[in-house]
Amino acid sequence: MRTTARADAWTALADPTRRAVLARVAECPRSVEQIAETLPVSRPAVSQHLRVLSEANLVTARREGRCRVYRLQPDGLRGPRAELERFWSQALANFKRITEEKPT
């Protein structure tokens, strides 16, 4: 799970465990320990997944005492959401065109 360049959101979201981590952070801000308690992966693995999500601008962290608390970064989801909206709009427009075509 090594990254050399800033990860993009699609790459970060491609991993099911990272999506599970992001889902937990989206529910409410959580520490690595709190996330790891809910998943079948180790704390170091959760930390690595959070690093990738952070590099993709999907989460932010704030130090609270001795731990870091991770929060969803909504701005990081704008790009993927806009792309999905374009795909969906195009799919609907194509569906409409196909259904309105006159049979030959």
Q: For the chain, which domains are there? A: 9-74 (1.10.10.10)
* Number of CB atoms found within 10 A of residue 23's CB: 12
Model-level pTM? 0.79
Instruction: Give, in degrees to the nearest 5, the angle at Cα 11 between 7 and 15.
Output: 120
Write out pLDDT tens, residues 16-69.
999 999 999 999 999 999 999 999 999 999 999 999 999 999 999 999 999 999
Give, in degrees to the nearest 5, the angle at Cα 54 between 5 and 23.
130
> What is the tens place of the pLDDT at every residue in 5-27?
457 899 999 999 999 999 999 99
Closest CA to 54 of 69, 34, 38: 69
